[in-house]
């Protein structure tokens, strides 16, 4: 059997690129179109894009996925395996920058145990008198996140992003219309991914990516270009885990007066104190409270 990497899943087929000694081979080797063994379906398992697999070749030049090797990570939405870097793209305008949605994405990324790179796109649309991008960059870097500012139109920051992706399997996620395909086209000229105009009436873009696929960069990196989406739910996350997904809470949570403090109303809560002292961003704390209420509501309904 041969070892390979699933780079695309479409209509029941898995497209597998060969690996050598467990390493991604960068180059022109074509992907082998494979079917998965029926045993996976019986076990309730599905191969995912990003999976390292063992496969065999069939007489017609296609292949069969025989075994899925252990995963280092797995995302439910988008369904990708072995990602180690999540690139969260948020535009300054069209659609407008939503810190509420950014924080929701960060909760999911923290829960998945991935590194996060916040990429603020469409710098060319920013008002010259507005320092919102630098302000957001400064605030989230203080929390401990890596933040880059880009413009695919002007080419700003694209090389910096590309260097960061080298040797990683990354996932690009963010609200529809923020410029994921435009940035990927800028990273890899000639890629010509379909991009979408923004619907100004709706304030969101049309989905241009209809399946999950790993796009190979010329520096050993792979990027999962995934369907755009603007809503995330918390069904796979326990409410007691939420505060651990706000990394700036950790320094104070252990010193709260009560064990299992929810950081909502308890006396002696060090997280609330840090927020009141201006150490924890008020917007981040407000979003925590909103997410907590949303999760409680979902728990009641389900």
Binding-site residue numbers are 121-124, 174-182, 256, 261, 263, 269
Mode of pairing for the β-strands spanning 52-57 and 80-81: unpaired
d(CA 130, CA 125): 11
Name residues whose C-beta falls within 8 Å of residue 156's C-beta, 6 or more positions apart in sequence. Answer: 123, 124, 149, 150
Q: Provide the token pair at 218.
A: 């010329």
d(CA 132, CA 23): 41
Residues annotated in a binding site for Zn(2+): 256, 261, 263, 269
Which is nearest to 207 in space by CA: 220, 217, 218, 198? 198
CA dist 129 to 87, 133, 297, Å? Answer: 27, 11, 41
Which is nearest to 159 in space by CA: 217, 110, 199? 217
CB-CB contact of 109 with 205 (8 Å): no
Residues annotated in a binding site for GTP: 121-124, 174-182
d(CA 17, CA 5): 5
């Amino acid at each position: 059997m041969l070892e390979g990497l699933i780079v695309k899943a479409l209509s029941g087929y898995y497209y597998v690129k060969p690996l050598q000694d467990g390493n991604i081979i960068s180059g022109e080797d074509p992907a082998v179109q494979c079917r998965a063994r029926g045993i996976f379906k019986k076990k309730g398992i599905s191969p995912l894009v990003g999976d390292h697999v063992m496969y065999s070749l069939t007489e017609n030049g296609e292949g069969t996925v025989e075994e899925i090797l252990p995963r280092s990570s797995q995302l439910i939405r988008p369904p990708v395996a072995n990602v180690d870097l999540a690139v969260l793209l948020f535009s300054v305008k069209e659609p407008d920058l939503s810190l509420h949605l950014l924080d929701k994405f960060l909760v999911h990324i923290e829960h998945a145990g991935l590194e996060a790179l916040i990429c603020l796109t469409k710098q060319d649309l920013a008002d010259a008198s507005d320092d919102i991008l630098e302000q957001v960059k400064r605030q989230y870097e203080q929390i401990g996140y890596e933040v880059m500012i880009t413009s695919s139109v002007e080419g700003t920051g694209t090389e910096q992003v590309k260097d960061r992706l080298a040797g990683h399997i990354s996932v690009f996620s963010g609200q529809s219309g923020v410029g994921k395909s435009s940035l990927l086209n800028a990273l890899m000229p000639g890629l010509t991914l379909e991009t979408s105009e923004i619907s100004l009436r709706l304030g969101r873009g049309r989905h241009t990516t209809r399946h999950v696929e790993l796009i190979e960069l010329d520096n050993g990196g792979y990027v999962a270009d995934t369907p755009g989406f603007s809503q995330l739910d918390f069904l796979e996350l326990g409410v007691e885990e939420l505060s651990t997904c706000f990394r700036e809470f950790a320094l104070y949570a252990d010193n709260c007066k009560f064990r299992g403090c929810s950081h909502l109303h308890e006396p002696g809560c060090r997280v609330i104190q840090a927020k009141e002292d201006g150490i924890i961003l008020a917007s981040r704390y407000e979003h925590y409270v909103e997410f907590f209420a949303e999760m409680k509501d979902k728990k009641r309904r389900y």
